[in-house]
Amino acid sequence: MGTLVHCSNIISSCPKLRLSTFRIVGSSEIGVSRRQALEQVDKELSKEDERAALSLVKNLQGKPGGLRCFGAARQVPQRLYTLDELRLNGIETTSLLSPVDATLGSIERNLQLAAILGGVAAWNAFSLSSQQILFISLGFLFVWTLDSVSFNGGVGSLVLDTIGHTFSQKYHNRVIQHEAGHFLIAYLVGILPRGYTLTSLEALKKEGSLNIQAGTAFVDFEFLNEVNAGKVSASTLNKFSCIALAGVATEYLLYGYAEGGLADINKLDVLLKGLGFTQKKADSQVRWSVLNTILLLRRHEAARAKLAEAMSLGKSVGSCIDIIEDNINDADI
């Protein structure tokens, strides 16, 4: 999952942008103007000019025919919610906040079994000596250690993820829905997604690093400034918390439990501890975020489903935003 940013005063700090092309007009020209603006957003993101992209989005924020939904999420009041209150809203936190990737775990166990059987078969077929078996085993151990130390297990994760997407349609669909949840919630709470990848192989091709896994990335310069200063505002923290939990929340709503997203939960836990939160205060933040995120996803289920379809086709960030805007009614924001 990417890092996030609470966005404020961005336009005033950016170079002057030429936005006259994207004036908001009435009736028949509205859709065209928005799409043209979002095409420009894609261009700015492709140039890694996040400030310019965000300025374009904020210029259209909340305007008729513009971006009605950006930062317009209708959220629940923030207070301490009990586990019973979450259950009354159909939320079992144990199924949501303790994800275990059973699919990839099963694939990993099968690969280990296949490796053992392959080793035994090779031993019999080629009459390998015990010394040769030892050298081969040491070679595999060296490769595994190198991957763990140098790439943080990236090679192993790449292999497992690629096999999972290739042979498990359930895993493939789950990852798409998971990332669609991150993207949608980020947009609704006012964080601009800057890109996404759905497979580790795609992430490797795009980022050129084995240490980067698939996921959704966000405009993050202000968030990082707050984190580095050790003072994260309540508004920023609320947004980060909801986005961090959006993937597991989406899986929970669709499948009744979450498999992916453990890294997202761990990142949130590290952030709360780094901010000096007591366990009670951290629990309060997480429970509010879970309830708020679940209710948003339920309310905008149709938009999330359409967004997931678009992301599965590799649509651009601007196109995905356009789909969100087209599939959310005014009454729901």
Number of Cβ within a 10 Å radius of residue 256: 10
The pLDDT, as a whole number, for residue 102 is 74
Q: Dihedral through CA 80, CA 81, CA 84, CA 85, nearest 10?
A: 140
Nearest to 183 by CA among 300, 38, 32, 34: 300
Residue 108's pLDDT is 66
In this predicted structure, what is the pLDDT of residue 7? 37
91 in helix, strand or coil? coil
pLDDT of residue 11: 28
Distance separating alpha carbons of residues 106 and 116, to the nearest angstrom? 16
Q: What per-residue string of b and e applies to 262-288 under the rule 16 or more CB within 10 Å gives b?
A: eebbeebeebbeeeebeeeebbbbbbb
In 3D space, the residue among 330, 266, 260 whose CA is nearest the CA of residue 299 turns out to be 330
3-state secondary structure 237-252: HHHHHHHHHHHHHHHH
pLDDT at position 26: 43
Tell me what pLDDT residue 220 has: 81
pLDDT at 161: 76
Q: What Cα–Cα distance (Å) separates residue 298 from each residue in 88, 166, 252, 253?
A: 15, 30, 11, 8
Distances (CA, A) of 314 to 197, 263, 283: 9, 24, 36
Helix (H/G/I), strand (E/B), else coil: 194: strand
Q: What is the pTM of this model?
A: 0.81
Q: Would you give per-residue pLDDT tens digits along the chain (333 residues)?
A: 444 433 333 323 333 333 333 344 443 445 568 899 999 999 999 999 999 999 999 999 988 888 999 999 999 999 999 999 999 999 999 898 988 877 766 776 766 676 676 766 766 777 767 776 666 666 666 565 654 555 565 566 777 778 878 888 999 999 999 999 999 999 999 999 999 999 988 888 887 666 667 899 998 877 888 888 878 899 999 999 999 999 999 999 999 999 999 999 999 999 999 889 999 999 999 999 999 999 999 999 999 999 999 999 999 999 999 999 999 998 888
Amino acid at 114: A
pLDDT of residue 56: 93
Q: Which two tokens stand for residue 31?
A: 């859709």
For residue 332, the model assigns a pLDDT of 82
